[in-house]
Structure 1
Amino acid sequence: MSSKEQFIKVFDELVVELRQILTDYKMPAEAIEWYERSLNYNTPGGKLNRGLSVVDTYCILTNQKVTDLDVETYKKVAVLGWCIELLQGFFLVSDDIMDQSKTRRGQPCWYLVEGIGNIAINDSFMLEGAIYVLLKKYFKKDSYYVDLLELFHDVTFQTELGQLLDLTTADEEVVDLDKFSLEKHSFIVIFKTAYYSFYLPVALAMFVAGISDEKDLKQAEDILVPLGEYFQIQDDYLDCFGTPEQIGKIGTDIKDNKCSWVVNQALKLVTPEQRQVLEENYGRKDDVKEAKCKQLFNDLGIEAIYQEYEESIVGELKGKIEAINESSGLKKQVFYTFLNKIYKRSK
């Protein structure tokens, strides 16, 4: 059984447990079926990188392989991984409604499934609610239980702050480049992506492994948040300069009026005439106008600026990783594992 298959097996068990909780509340059968369907539709369909990272990080911190973990320990660490995937499901279901998106993970967005509609809003709340049901069931007797609760509450709020700024900065209906800035972009990606995708999995594993000193958590945050920002900047770059064959999708940031790293770099460099080109063409659902923006980005040498940024940030991150004192149990390998997955990736 692969590590992903083993991980998914735990989710199947958790769905049964959540069903039982609803049964104990004497919920009608049709409501229980609805919730189970929502859980299965919205939680396990992605790459599961965030959830699997909790398991992998715990193993690195405790010098074990996944196969070394006893059943109870594996289950607890995997539950935390699935709590992140439930958080992701909560964000995506609500995000798709806000963006009026059509598809997610190769299937219709949940709110567009026949018979669902705006009930998806409540379903998103119930995905989030499952996190706290599971934390209580599996961790209530642990000394770090409150730490886990606070971590999930803090990171959820941080992600929502990032989403707020994203939604109010990059309106698909009204293009206003004056709202864009690299400072806003940095805030959006750090709060909307970096905390829950990079810091949260590692911090959760640290608590279970008994590494909970504020200094260690701060050191992890100081590496993982910039790492998450780098990941999103790379994503913005690939959306514009990567080919569909390379990245597995057609980039849409230009047409969607996204406050991306690429356009913000361009806005720093443009002449008044070039600024006018962006004003007239950015954020329009038009292939010709999109091509004009891409040509301008090429003329401004954005690719070279990105290559320089990548080498600079990777050098900084390696310096921070090397500064870690491993005597407390924190391991450099945790951070190199994340960095090696990202550096020079092409999709």
Structure 2
Amino acid sequence: MGALAASIASHVPPGVLASLAALPNPGELVRRAVRLEDELRELLRLNGRDGATAEQGGNRAQQTRERFLRAYERLKSELLDDRTFNFDFTDETRQWVAKMMDYNVPGGKLNRGLSVIDSYMLLREGTEVDDEDFYLACVLGWCIEWLQASALVLDDITDNAYTRRDNLCWYKLPTVGLSAINDGVLLKCHVQAIIKRYFKEKFYFVDLMELWNEIGLQTAMGQMLDLITTHTGAKDLARYKIQGYRRIVKYKTSYYSFYLPVACALLLNGAKLSDYVELKNVLIEMGVYFQIQDDYLDCFGDPQVIGKVGTDIEDYKCSWLIVQAMELANENEMKILYENYGKSSTECVAAVKNVYKELDLQDIFLEYESRVYKHLVSTIDAEPDRAIREILKIFLKKIYRRKK
């Protein structure tokens, strides 16, 4: 057993150790402890910081977040008060839009938006970044958060979701209802207006607009694939395959959540996106990993931690879990899945989750996570560009073993 695992064992009361030893397979517990130790060491190596440096990094991250949040207030004010944005708002419409933005845009973890700033600062490492350039990175970061808000408002309606970010979904508010559809469209329109306002005179404006138009189309196509596949799967669960699942995730999640933040930072830094195809491929793979985590947490995560009640089973979603189950289930388990998947009753959901547990999908997920993590670490270490390498490390650190 490694030093870390031995140290943990030395602090466990003897009675607990005796109970562990009495378990059917204590050797497996030891192997898992050793594997966890290896992964912890690997994560520390990936992070590459000692305690003092980590503390300094934490302070910088907090300062960046505070500046980012201040940028939101400025952008919101401009959208509400500048006539080039809002045309002829009344006080009533201005209040509605302000409430709608505050409810849907800044309430998440903000990882996508902050990733634009983190990536940009790494690309500019060694050179001075003035307040204007930093603010422009904040602007594009918030554009991604606006796009995310638009997608979530509309996706929650499509999925008949109930909670989001520890609150009722926007459309579930009594005063909102299906008028949330228009709000989702409006949020996406805000993105185009913000980009035009701040970047119209920049030499990379055309490239930036092409990027956003491409990502917007890819995300919408991913949503369409998700909906079509769900209808298909409702007729026959056996049609849920890993190839189709990866296609959905690539377009619906990976492009806007992982590639878009880095692509925006590259353009801000004057780069040509065509020179970074391999970087794009790695980020897309991270996005697939991220969505598989999301599917796992939808079923096995704590709603109090993840901020929403998972509904993938009830919604007949082509999730990673059902894809794995359809490959591994025996005849009896398959029968249970066909009879219960896509139904909203508590008993049906419990029956599906019980099959997942019988198939050891939790362990299969942990094995997948360990395998893909090691592959990504190896790929990152082989990247010759230090700034790109550090960008990828930050992304991987944020998502590895996440709980929400």
TM-score by length of 2: 0.77
Check 1:29–1:338 CA distance in 2 against 1; reply closer, same or farther (3 A cut). Answer: same
Q: Which letter maps to 2:206?
A: V
1:335 paired residue number: 392
Distance (Å, rounded) in 2 between the aligned partners of 1:242 and 1:119: 31
1:172, CA displacement in angstroms?
Answer: 12
2:283 paired residue number: 224
Deviation beyond 4 Å, 4+ runs, structure 1: 171-175, 243-250
Alignment of 1:193 onto 2:193: no
Distance (Å, rounded) in 2 between the aligned partners of 1:96 and 1:182: 24
Alignment of 1:287 onto 2:349: no
Alignment of 1:166 onto 2:215: no
Distance (Å, rounded) in 1 between the aligned partners of 2:67 and 2:344: 43
Check 1:180–1:81 CA distance in 2 against 1; reply closer, same or farther (3 A cut). Answer: same
Select the structure of larger CA radius of gyration: 2
Q: Is the 8 A contact 2:341 2:348 kept in 1?
A: yes
Q: Which moved more, 1:36-45 or 1:240-249?
A: 240-249
Q: Which moved more, 1:229-238 or 1:17-26?
A: 17-26
2:295 paired residue number: 236
Distance (Å, rounded) in 2 between the aligned partners of 1:84 and 1:49: 10
Q: Secondary structure at the match of 1:44?
A: coil
1:177 paired residue number: 237
Check 1:241–1:15 CA distance in 2 against 1; reply closer, same or farther (3 A cut). Answer: closer
Aligned pair count? 342
Distance (Å, rounded) in 1 between the aligned partners of 2:213 and 2:77: 25
Q: Is the 8 A contact 2:292 2:320 kept in 1?
A: yes
Alignment of 1:76 onto 2:165: no
1:244, CA displacement in angstroms?
Answer: 4.7
1:213, CA displacement in angstroms?
Answer: 4.6
Check 1:255–1:172 CA distance in 2 against 1; reply closer, same or farther (3 A cut). Answer: farther
- Aligned match for 1:111, one of 154, 158, 171: 171
- Aligned match for 1:134, one of 185, 194, 201: 194
Q: Secondary structure at the match of 2:82?
A: helix
Check 1:22–1:59 CA distance in 2 against 1; reply closer, same or farther (3 A cut). Answer: same
Alignment of 1:275 onto 2:337: no
Q: Is the 8 A contact 1:54 1:78 kept in 2?
A: yes
Q: Is the 8 A contact 1:111 1:120 kept in 2?
A: yes
Consecutive unaligned residues in structure 1, runs of 5 or more: none
Alignment of 1:13 onto 2:70: no
1:37 paired residue number: 99
Q: Is the 8 A contact 1:162 1:189 kept in 2?
A: yes
Q: Which letter maps to 2:355?
A: L
1:52 paired residue number: 114
Alignment of 1:204 onto 2:264: yes
Consecutive unaligned residues in structure 2, runs of 5 or more: 1-61
1:151, CA displacement in angstroms?
Answer: 1.1
1:316 paired residue number: 375
- How big is each residue's C-alpha offset from its partner over 1:46-94, in whole Å with a ceiling of 9 and x where there is no partner? 11111111111111111169xx642211110000001001111111222
Q: Is the 8 A contact 1:172 1:256 kept in 2?
A: no
2:87 paired residue number: 25
TM-score by length of 1: 0.89
- How big is each residue's C-alpha offset from its partner over 1:292-345, in whole Å with a ceiling of 9 and x where there is no partner? 32232233232333233223222322232233231xx75201001111222223
Q: Secondary structure at the match of 2:188?
A: helix
Q: Which letter maps to 1:278?
A: L
Check 1:144–1:287 CA distance in 2 against 1; reply closer, same or farther (3 A cut). Answer: same
Distance (Å, rounded) in 1 between the aligned partners of 2:232 and 2:306: 23
Q: Is the 8 A contact 2:267 2:273 kept in 1?
A: no
Q: Is the 8 A contact 1:61 1:330 kept in 2?
A: yes
Distance (Å, rounded) in 2 between the aligned partners of 1:42 and 1:309: 33
Distance (Å, rounded) in 2 between the aligned partners of 1:8 and 1:71: 15
1:246, CA displacement in angstroms?
Answer: 6.0
- Aligned match for 1:101, one of 152, 161, 173: 161
> Percent same amino acid among aligned pairs?
41
1:140, CA displacement in angstroms?
Answer: 1.2
1:255, CA displacement in angstroms?
Answer: 3.0
Distance (Å, rounded) in 1 between the aligned partners of 2:69 and 2:150: 18
